[in-house]
Amino acid sequence: MTDTNEGKRRGELWRGTTTPRAPLAPPTDRRTFLKLAGWSALAGGAAACTPRSPEELVPYVDMPEHVVPGRPTYYATTLLREGYGYGAIVETREGRPIKIDGNPGHPATLGASDAVLQAELMQLYDPDRSRTPLHDGTPRSLDALAADLATLRERLLKSGGRGLRVLTPPVTSPTQAARLGALLDSFPEARWHQWHALARDAAITGSRIAFGRAVDITTRMDRADVIVQLDGDFLAEGPAHLAHAADFSSRRRPGPGMLRLWVMESTPGLAGAAADHTLVVPQPRVVRLALALAAELGLAVPAAEGLSPRERRWVAACARDLAEHRGRALVLAGDPQPPAVHALAHWLNAALDAPGRTLEWRDPALARPEPVIESLTALAEDMHRGEVDALVVIDGDPAYDAPADLRFAEGLERVSTVIHHGLYVDATARRADWHVPLAHDLESWGDARAFDGSVSLQQPLVEPLHASLPRLALPEMLMGRWPRSDREVVAAHWEARLGGESAEPWKAALRAGIVAGTASSSVDVVPRPSAIRDALAETPGNADAPAPVLQFRADPHVSDGRYASNAWLQELPRPLTKLTWDNALLISPAMAERMGIGDEEVLRVSTGQATIEAPAWVLPGMPDEALTIWLGHGRAIRSGGEGDSLADGVGVDAYPLRTTGALFARTGIDVEPVGRRYALAATQHHHRMEGREPVRRMTLAEVLDGRDHAPQGDEHPSLYPEPVPAPFDVDAPQWGMAVDLNACTGCMACTAACQAENNIPVVGKRQVRAGREMHWIRVDRYYEGDADAPRTLFQPVPCQHCENAPCEYVCPTGATQHDSEGLNVMVYNRCIGTRDCSQNCPYKVRRFNFVEYNYGAQEAELLSALRNPDVTVRSRGVMEKCTYCIQRISRARRQAKIEDRPIADGDVVTACQQACPTGAIVFGDVSDPESAVSRAKNHPLDYALLAELNTRPRTTYRARVRNPHPDLEENDSSGGDKAHG
């Protein structure tokens, strides 16, 4: 059918036949192209003299009735992360998922998304995914697996399941929990363990200390006037971070009663960057500050000694602010902090009348809330004791990410049968007797709870690409209930509640992507001061920590390592470091200076037991006497496809230094330079604004006395008539964008979404290092103030779509010019690659295909399946840039024309706008005074970037507004711009 062909011609290989497993063989014309890709240059002239090779049309044999070829279809489903559910709406073309976005009806996403959610698409098509079951490393069929499991089952039945252990990530999925329960019933002696390297143990233990039971917190930041965060990063971590971002930003609009955020952090994070006051200290010291804060608020806690004057003033002001906003205040404890701090946070919140107002205590969303570290330790000990007969690892790689002191890999040797069920042939898989490919969430049925307990169903968007089994399969097999489709399993579980698959409630739940009324109920509990006090007393952090501290954090994109081979996420610049393709030892400028080292110099970090060598990266805002390294790198994956895994040789594995006693920070390390350098690929090399004020800043006070943003540069007079002449006058919508720098948290979701929507290639570390990254919307990060406690400013920069575009008049072929809707269009097929447009672009938002970035990948066939058929795939030698998602504009325009109506405000939503969790990006018709974007642009704080150049950008920004506490303002506004360049 023409539509699959359309697709194919833009680089997709998906054939529209009824079996999605059909071989992904490229069509002849494309293969010949592949061969000639290089030579087309030389043959170029000649090639133009021979007719285009004929193309194939491959129609369906039998067209599924809900498919309209050439038109997108959208489905609601659920993606799992750390066991929690994220509701998503997935766009498919001819049965091919090509875009993931948040589900507006789902509490965890609210229609927005983050980089990882966007990149789950790449995860689905990841060429490195394992493609077939392996028995002792040799490919076997699923039937062979089933047979083998049957015999295992026989063996286990005799012993009542003695020695059978199942290891999963924390589980919220009601169905999975129920089925595992059933498994335990049929094998009374079996055990179910949970492990996740980033599981939120401290929160669980903390609530147990505070209340004697596990309790979840859900916040209502939209009701808060003051928020204090004790370490961590509530805008980036935890299952509720997207909801947090939405609520938080809703109260950050400049004006009376603007929310004030206080952040103590041990590693620069998004919350710290967004905060009005950030206090940077090594992780163990946070306990002490928390105690001081509690004391200031009159809680009877152990005294905190040795605070510096600055800390003292900071805590005092913070406490005063909290006290003044009783009932409208909120205290958050970060995951890296010990349980006692979480318990203390509960106590503080209670003391501030937060419960029922700015937060709710609820039943946990987890089916079995337990500190997973204990669960895993138990398992490991049993393994070493040889008590484990069969271990089933579902969606995990403990051999890689278990704390080093558990010696998990060794333990595996002593287990007679290890079955690994995962996406990759990873460390655990290679030690397992059986490796079973795990179906991706987009390939399976299931369900999961969001942070607030709401259940959403998971439905497959595509038949499995490889010979994989869904998450729910193995327990069923062990229970002898196979073959049975995961769909049946889920449907059966919900039979009672939603009726059968034919029943309306079930269909409704599928359509809406959420099961109504499943949020967990709030619980009425009261903190127990004594218990909390005891816990605090024995928390080491209160003693002086021997410097330096090594802090473990999840990679902002690669997480605990499960996205290590995800090209999009590896190349997506990390929000603060702007690093790609590697992790590094983050070190404060002061410490680096003391050690006499700089960026890229390799440091050796050793604890008694283990040693790693990793390059240093000097990061303003790192606490002194502390190093931070990201987990999730240096993961050994054997690619399911040909060639090496993309994760090979990327970054350094920090897990060997991580122990049960020190999951997030460990002291007693020695650090020394090795005297070697290791090249890192960052996308931003200069960190000061050089007095050019690309980001305009002011304080709430200034806004309130009616001062608008710093005056714009005077517009230069022009020889030519202004405003731009005739063709603009046709009655067409005039597209424009407004970006609210105050709402932007710098999370990079926009960049990821743009990459997914616009077929933006991944270029690899070497090209990034050469300064050739391709992202259409970059997020600039500037520092101001003291390098050790700088203020961090983010600024998303897409094409500004200047009305007087400097790029246009220098193009010799007219490949970039204006259309009547005010778009600065880029016509790839007319571009000959002089790059003069980029030279003349003051914003440097243009990207160039210096070599062939699209057909280079070995697995081009598989990867090309995720391409958006509405967007041209750019060949080598062609300039490209943000188009304001012109394909979406075009679709809206054509739809409106078909329905014979004008394009309504909101008909066009750009990918970045759709993804943004804080609604920082507004897009629409600026010629319509009533449109959202016009209203945004009318705001007094709205300004144009480099307006003095008279480029008349269609993209404008709203100045960043801080809301500092009066007591701290004077010494916090340190003028000297000492952030390193």
What residues numbered 846-865 form the site for other proteins, per CB under 8 A?
Answer: 846-852
| Residue in the block written with tokens 């948040």 | 102
Residue 933 interacts with other proteins (CB under 8 A): yes or no: no
Backbone φ, ψ for residue 29 (5° rounding): -60, -35
Q: List the alpha helices (DSSP H) in 485-528.
A: 486-498, 504-512
The two most distant CA atoms of the chain are separated, in Å, by 93
Residue 62 interacts with other proteins (CB under 8 A): yes or no: yes
Nearby residues of 862 by Cβ (< 8 Å), 6 or more positions away: 13, 24, 125, 127, 465, 641
Among 114, 780, 925, 942, binds other proteins (CB under 8 A): 780
What does each C-alpha distance from 896 to 553, 729, 905 come to in angstroms? 48, 20, 12
For the chain, state the CA radius of gyration: 28
Residue 9 interacts with other proteins (CB under 8 A): yes or no: yes
Residue 770 interacts with other proteins (CB under 8 A): yes or no: yes
Residues that contact other proteins, how many (by CB under 8 A):
132
Neighbours of 184 (CB within 10 A): 17
The Cα 749–Cα 761 span in angstroms is: 17
Strands 601-606 and 879-880: unpaired
Residue 3 interacts with other proteins (CB under 8 A): yes or no: yes
Q: How far is the CB of 696 from other proteins (least distance, A)?
A: 14
Residue 927 interacts with other proteins (CB under 8 A): yes or no: no
Residue 717 interacts with other proteins (CB under 8 A): yes or no: no
DSSP summary character for residue 549: E
Among 357, 772, 978, 980, binds other proteins (CB under 8 A): 772
Among 699, 817, 927, 974, binds other proteins (CB under 8 A): 817
* Cα pseudo-dihedral 247, 253, 255, 257, rounded to 10: 20
Residues 24-53, one symbol each (x = binds other proteins by CB under 8 A, - = not), give: --------------xxxxx-xx-xxxxxx-
Residues 660-699, one symbol each (x = binds other proteins by CB under 8 A, - = not), give: ------------------------xxxxxxxxx-x-----
Residue 898 interacts with other proteins (CB under 8 A): yes or no: yes
Strands 626-631 and 670-677: unpaired
Residue 812 interacts with other proteins (CB under 8 A): yes or no: yes
Neighbours of 197 (CB within 10 A): 27
Among 797, 866, 882, 921, binds other proteins (CB under 8 A): 797
For other proteins, the closer of residues 230 and 823 by Cβ is 823
Contact 90, 74 (CB under 8 A): yes
Residue 715 interacts with other proteins (CB under 8 A): yes or no: no
Q: Which residues of 388-420 are buried (b: 16+ CB within 10 A; e: fewer)?
A: bbbbbbbbbbbbbbbbbebebbebbeebebbbb
Residues 244-263 that bind other proteins (CB under 8 A): none
Q: How far is the CB of 14 from other proteins (least distance, A)?
A: 13
∠ CA(28), CA(32), CA(33), 5° rounding? 115
Residue 974 interacts with other proteins (CB under 8 A): yes or no: no
Q: How far is the CB of 485 from other proteins (least distance, A)?
A: 21
| Residue in the block written with tokens 């009726």 | 499
Q: How far is the CB of 32 from other proteins (least distance, A)?
A: 15
For other proteins, the closer of residues 254 and 785 by Cβ is 785
Could you give the 3-state DSSP secondary structure of residue 875? coil
Residue 900 interacts with other proteins (CB under 8 A): yes or no: yes
For other proteins, the closer of residues 252 and 846 by Cβ is 846
DSSP summary character for residue 559: B
Residue 19 interacts with other proteins (CB under 8 A): yes or no: yes
Residue 599 interacts with other proteins (CB under 8 A): yes or no: no
Nearby residues of 567 by Cβ (< 8 Å), 6 or more positions away: 122, 126, 646, 762
Contact 802, 837 (CB under 8 A): no
For other proteins, the closer of residues 479 and 949 by Cβ is 949
For other proteins, the closer of residues 302 and 806 by Cβ is 806
Residue 529 interacts with other proteins (CB under 8 A): yes or no: no
| Binding range to other proteins, per CB under 8 A, among 180-188, 493-501, 612-620, 830-838 | 830-838
Q: How far is the CB of 616 from other proteins (least distance, A)?
A: 21
Residue 61 interacts with other proteins (CB under 8 A): yes or no: yes
Q: How far is the CB of 273 from other proteins (least distance, A)?
A: 15
Residues 104-163 that bind other proteins (CB under 8 A): none
Residue 595 interacts with other proteins (CB under 8 A): yes or no: no
The Cα 633–Cα 866 span in angstroms is: 25
Three-state helix/strand/coil letters over 273-318: HHCCEEEECCHHHHHHHHHHHHHHCCCCCCCCCCCCHHHHHHHHHH
Among 302, 656, 877, 964, binds other proteins (CB under 8 A): 877
